[in-house]
Structure formats: C-alpha cells, structure tokens
Amino acid sequence: MADHHAQTPVGAGLPMLPSLRWDEPPEGPVLVLLDQTRLPVEEAELVCTDVPALVAAIRTLAVRGAPLLGIAGAYGVALAAARGFDVEDAAEQLARARPTAVNLGYGVRRARDAHRAACARGSGPAVAAAAALDEARKLHAEDAEASTRMAGFGLALLDELLPGGGHRILTHCNTGALVSGGEGTAFAVALSAHRAGRLRRLWVDETRPLLQGARLTAYEAARNGMAYTLLTDNAAGSLLAAGEVDAVLIGADRIAADGSVANKVGSYPLAVLAKYHHVPFVVVAPTTTIDLATRDGASIEVEQRPGHEVTELMAPQVVVAGVEAGGGMPVAPLGTQAYNPAFDITPPELVTAIVTERGALSPVTGDGIAELTVRSRRG
Ligand code: MRU
C-alpha cells in the first residue's frame, strides 16, 4: 500500500527532502519516497508499506535513476523481510520492475543475499530482516561515498580537458541527489564545478517525454543556486554549433562489458553531436552500473514505455495517473501510435571518458572496463 504524506513548499534555499528514507512508525516499518512525479510543483512523500506499492512507484518513476533504483530495491527487500512477506518473491518482483538500470537487480540481490545468508546461519526472521536492512543501509552509504568521489574525479577531468576555466556543461535527464544516496553522478560533477567557481553555465535538456531535465534537474540546479538554462532537446544541435558547450556530461543506466552506455533516450544523439563538434562527451556512473554479463550495446534490454507518454503532455501532477491510464493533455490525434523507448545506447567510440568512483577511464575500451571492475572488486 502507498499513501501520500504532508506536502512542503518548493523553493531555492530550502533543504530538499531526502529522495528516500527508511522509517519505523508504530504501525510498522515503511519506505518513504520523495514522489518525483510531483516535482517541481510540490514535495510530497509517498509512503510504501509493501512491495507492490514500491514496484508501482518504480514503474511510474516516483523513484527513479539507476543508483537510487538499486538503493530502493535493497530497502524493498528489507521491507518485505521486516513485514513478514515472502522475501524471495519480493526480490523477483522488484528486480523485474524496470529492465534497463542494472543497479536495480544489483541492490535487490545484495539485500536478498544478506537475508539468505542470515537464514542459512539459522537466524530467526527478525535477525534475517535486520541483516537485509543493514545491507540496504550499507549500499546507501556506499553510493553516497561513490558520488563524492565521482564528483572529485569528474571535476579533475573537466579541468584537464578544458584548461580555460569556466565550464559550460550540457546535461540530459536527471542525475543529481534525486537519483543517489549522495549528490548524484553527472550532476554532482557540475555541482562541484559550481562550488569551485568553475561552472559558467549548466545547459539542461528538458528530456522529453517525461521531462526529467525540466522538472528535476532544473529544480536541483535552482535549489543549489547554479547558473542554468533550460532548452528543448531539439535545441542542443544549434547550441553546440554555436560553440556554447564545452562538455556534455550524462549518467548511465547500464554500461556493457565493451563500454557501450545505456542512458535516457536522447543521449546517443548528443554523443553524435558532441563528436561532430569536437566536444568531450563524458559519462559519470558508479562501478555498480557496469554489467560485465552484458556483452555489448545490442545485448542491453531497452525499456519500452507506453505511447501515451508521447501522445499526451504529462503535467507533473498527472504523471502517476497518466503512466497507467493516460490523463495528460493530448498533443496528437486520438489513436496515434508512438515509439517510446526510455533509453538509447551510445557506443564506446563516442564516449570520451567514463568517470567512476575508482577514477576516469579514457579511452573507453572493453579491457579498460574489465580492469576498472576488477579494481573495484578488489576494493
Ligand atoms: O527513466 P529514468 O528517469 O529512471 O532515467 C534515468 C536516467 O536515464 C539517468 O540518466 C540514469 O539513471 C543515470 S542517473 C545517475
């Protein structure tokens, strides 16, 4: 079951509600999400008391973005365990909620394996549930730490690639605190440039059709006092042609073993544009987003979403209802078919560098990816 809690006003300078938190009110443990479908109009919390509610929140993008999906998945397993539901079944439902972000399955597996290990040691349900929760908390903290490290490595790379100083960065989708245990991936790099006085402008792609750039990245940029400008996705080409962009920075939902990057649809055209205009195209993602089991870009499953997200304009307040049943403002004749992949794949040769919490990889090759992953597993 899910329920909406009190809403707080949205505005620059006010502390942002956490994108996700575990709570234990007298009625029992809950996972509380900042409902991203309602931003930027209002900050509303969505309280999940069971796994079906969390699965629905994942599918409707109330909680979204690769690293946060992993954290939410892990807490979802902990929630099932703490509430006495079937943990194995919960883990399966959660892992299947969205197909592309590899972090979701990773987070689910970590909490499930911690639960399994506790059960195998002969622990009772309460101790096994506590083990799953501990693992979710550990993953949450690790992601926050990875975010800080990526911000440092990413800014150092920008300074090296762009020795001139004031960086003008174009970004796509949303990659900030709303997708992370910390300050995010690509957005965290832009934020650290801003704090260091080296961000001249953050160009924010609106990110059709669900407007993660306009609704969420602009919201985070405003809250952080960054100099930012919103543009339609279609305007990126002329902006690059005008020489207004020094680097393109995006996150990733899955990085295959050959270095192919799945990210929000519209990332690949930006990579092609960046190559043509000799602008660095940098992907920022934790090593948990690397999936060595996926050989190449063609092997990545790309989520296909309902056509009405394209044929209707989804105002923030109706995204939840809209994803399941329509309800946005029609912008195409009734019955129009739509092509609506949530992600696209950028081949490694178009990626200047991948920045992880272990450092930056450039050029991007399969061998480099393997080495980075081995290093990360060695700790
Ligand atoms: O469909 P979404 O909003 O979950 O897509 C999110 C993205 O594509 C992000 O760019 C990606 O998860 C990286 S976030 C660090």
* pLDDT value at 349 more than 70: yes
Q: Are residues 67 and 130 in the same domain?
A: yes
User: Residue 379: its pLDDT value, please?
Assistant: 47
- SS3 letters for the chain? CEEEEEEECCCCCCCCCCCEEEECCCCCCEEEEECCCCCCCCEEEEEECCHHHHHHHHHCCCCCCHHHHHHHHHHHHHHHHHCCCCHHHHHHHHHCCCCCCHHHHHHHHHHHHHHHHHHHCCCCHHHHHHHHHHHHHHHHHHHHHHHHHHHHHHHHHHHHHCCCCCEEEEECCCCCHHHCCCCCCHHHHHHHHHHCCCEEEEEEECCCCCCHHHHHHHHHHHHCCCCEEEECHHHHHHHHHCCCCCEEEECCCEEECCCCEEEECCHHHHHHHHHHCCCCEEEECCHHHEECCCCCHHHCCCCECCCHHHHEECCHHHHHHHHHHCCCEECCCCCCCCCCECEEEECHHHCCEEEECCEEECCCCHHHHHHHHHHHHHC
The predicted model scores a pTM of 0.94
CA of 341 to the centre of ligand 1 (A): 13
Q: Are residues 316 and 182 in the same domain?
A: yes
212 lines ligand 1 (CB under 6 A): yes
* pLDDT value at 294 more than 50: yes
Q: Are residues 61 and 198 in the same domain?
A: no
Containing structural domain, residue 68: 14-143
CATH of the domain at 278: 3.40.50.10470
Q: Are residues 250 and 368 in the same domain?
A: yes
User: Residue 17: its pLDDT value, please?
Assistant: 85
CA of 164 to the centre of ligand 1 (A): 30
Q: Identify the active-site residue in 35, 50, 143, 253.
A: 253
Amino acid at 370: A
65 lines ligand 1 (CB under 6 A): yes
Q: Are residues 124 and 169 in the same domain?
A: no
User: Residue 16: its pLDDT value, please?
Assistant: 75
Q: Are residues 169 and 207 in the same domain?
A: yes
- State the pLDDT confidence band at 283, using cuts at 50, 70 and 90: very high
Annotation marks residue 253 as catalytic: yes
* pLDDT value at 318 more than 50: no
- Which pLDDT tens digit goes with each residue over 239-282? 999 999 999 999 999 999 999 999 999 999 999 999 999 999 99
CATH of the domain at 54: 1.20.120.420
- State the pLDDT confidence band at 49, using cuts at 50, 70 and 90: very high
Q: Are residues 87 and 186 in the same domain?
A: no
Q: Are residues 201 and 113 in the same domain?
A: no
User: Residue 7: its pLDDT value, please?
Assistant: 47
Six-digit token string for 6 = 């009190």
Kindly state whether residue 119 falls inside one of the protein's structural domains.
yes
Q: Are residues 207 and 355 in the same domain?
A: yes
User: Residue 14: its pLDDT value, please?
Assistant: 61
Kindly state whether residue 152 falls inside one of the protein's structural domains.
no
CA of 274 to the centre of ligand 1 (A): 20
For residue 187, the ligand 1 atom closest to its alpha carbon is: 15
User: Residue 314: its pLDDT value, please?
Assistant: 73
**337 marked ligand binding residue:** no
175 lines ligand 1 (CB under 6 A): yes
Q: Are residues 209 and 119 in the same domain?
A: no
**263 marked ligand binding residue:** yes
Residue among 172, 212, 248 whose CB has most ligand 1 atoms within 8 A, to mutate: 212
Q: Are residues 173 and 312 in the same domain?
A: yes
Amino acid at 176: G
Cis check for the bond before 15: say yes or no (omega within 30 of 0): no
CA of 217 to the centre of ligand 1 (A): 11
Kindly state whether residue 148 falls inside one of the protein's structural domains.
no
Share the mean pLDDT of the chain. 93
Six-digit token string for 62 = 């109330």
Q: Are residues 267 and 360 in the same domain?
A: yes
Kindly state whether residue 149 falls inside one of the protein's structural domains.
no
Of residues 95 and 328, more confidently modeled: 95
| 10 exposure class (CB count in 10 Å sphere: 0-12, 13-18, 19+) | middle
255 CB neighbour count, 10 Å cutoff: 33
340 lines ligand 1 (CB under 6 A): no
Q: Whose CA is nearest to atom 6 of ligand 1?
A: 65
Here the ipTM equals 0.98
- Number of domains the chain contains: 2
**70 marked ligand binding residue:** no
Give me the percent of the chain exceeding a pLDDT of 70.
92
**264 marked ligand binding residue:** yes
**38 marked ligand binding residue:** no
Kindly state whether residue 259 falls inside one of the protein's structural domains.
yes
Six-digit token string for 216 = 């969420």
